Chains A and B, each alone.
Chain A
Amino acid sequence: MESPFRSEAAAFRFLLITIGAFALIVIMAVISTALGFLTFLALSAAAVAMYLRQRGPTPDREHVATLGGPDERRVLVVANETVQGEELLSTISTLALIERTQFLVVCPALNSRLKTFTSDEDPARAAARARLDVTLARLASVGIEASGEVGDGDPLVAVDDAMRTFGPNEIVISTHPPGKSNWLERGIVESVRARYDVPVTHVVVELAAGTDD
Chain B
Amino acid sequence: MTAHAEPLHGHDDHHGPPPANQSSRVDPRTLGMLLFIGSEIMLFGSFFAAYFFVRVVNPGAPDHWPPEPYHFPVFVAGVNTAILVTSSFTMHWALQCIKRGERAGFLAGMVLTFLMGFAFLLTQVVEYLNVGFNTSDGAFASVFFGLTGLHGAHVFVGLSLLGMVIIRGFRGHYSPEHHHGVELPGIYWHFVDVMWIVVYATVYLL
Q: Which residue numbers of A lie inside 8 Å of B, CB to CB? A: 3, 5-9, 11-12, 14-15, 18-19, 22, 25-26, 29, 33, 36, 59, 152, 157, 160-161, 164
Contact between B191 and A22, CB atoms less than 8 A apart: no
Contact between B92 and A3, CB atoms less than 8 A apart: no
Task: Give the residues in chain A near B186, CB-CB below 8 Å.
Answer: 8, 11-12
B194 at the interface (CB under 8 A from A): yes
Task: Give the residues in chain B near A161, CB-CB below 8 Å.
Answer: 21, 23
Give the complex CA separation of A157 and B187 in angstroms.
Answer: 27
Stretch among B29-37, B120-128, B138-146 lining the A interface: B29-37
- Whether A59 contacts B95 in the complex (CB less than 8 A), given A8-B187, A11-B187, comes out as no
Question: How would you classify the secondary structure of chain A's contact residues: helix, strand, loop or mixed?
Answer: helix
Chain B: minimal CB distance from A63 (Å): 14
Contact between B197 and A5, CB atoms less than 8 A apart: no
20 contacts across the A-B interface (CB closer than 8 A): A5-B187, A5-B191, A6-B30, A6-B34, A8-B95, A8-B187, A11-B190, A11-B194, A12-B190, A15-B88, A15-B193, A15-B194, A15-B197, A18-B198, A19-B197, A25-B206, A26-B205, A152-B23, A160-B23, A161-B23
Task: Give the residues in chain A near B194, CB-CB below 8 Å.
Answer: 11, 14-15, 18
B85 at the interface (CB under 8 A from A): yes
- Give B187's nearest chain A residue, CB to CB: A11
Which of B25, B37, B186 has most chain A Cβ within 10 Å?
Answer: B25
Interface size band for B: 20 to 34
Task: Give the residues in chain A near B206, CB-CB below 8 Å.
Answer: 25-26, 29, 36
- Give B26's nearest chain A residue, CB to CB: A6
Give the complex CA separation of A160 and B26 in angstroms.
Answer: 14
- Give A36's nearest chain B residue, CB to CB: B206
Pairs A-B, 3 closest by C-beta atoms: A8-B186, A11-B190, A22-B201
Task: Give the residues in chain B near A22, CB-CB below 8 Å.
Answer: 197-198, 201
Question: How would you classify the secondary structure of chain B's contact residues: helix, strand, loop or mixed?
Answer: helix
Contact between A8 and B183, CB atoms less than 8 A apart: yes
Contact between B183 and A7, CB atoms less than 8 A apart: yes
Contact between A14 and B190, CB atoms less than 8 A apart: yes
- Give A27's nearest chain B residue, CB to CB: B205
B17 at the interface (CB under 8 A from A): no
- Whether A12 contacts B197 in the complex (CB less than 8 A), given A26-B205, A26-B206, comes out as no
A164's contact among B21, B25, B33, by CB below 8 Å, is which?
B21
Contact pattern, B 156-195, Cβ under 8 Å of A = 1, otherwise 0:
0000000000000000000000000011001100110110
Contact between B25 and A8, CB atoms less than 8 A apart: no
Task: Give the residues in chain A near B182, CB-CB below 8 Å.
Answer: 8
Please provide the chain B residues from 71 to 110 with a CB less than 8 Å away from any CB of chain A in the complex. 85, 88, 91-92, 95
Task: Give the residues in chain B near A15, CB-CB below 8 Å.
Answer: 85, 88, 190, 193-194, 197
Chain A: minimal CB distance from B161 (Å): 13
Task: Give the residues in chain B near A3, CB-CB below 8 Å.
Answer: 34
Task: Give the residues in chain B near A164, CB-CB below 8 Å.
Answer: 21
Contact pattern, B 122-138, Cβ under 8 Å of A = 1, otherwise 0:
00000000000000000
B62 at the interface (CB under 8 A from A): yes
- Whether A5 contacts B201 in the complex (CB less than 8 A), given A14-B194, A15-B88, A164-B21, comes out as no
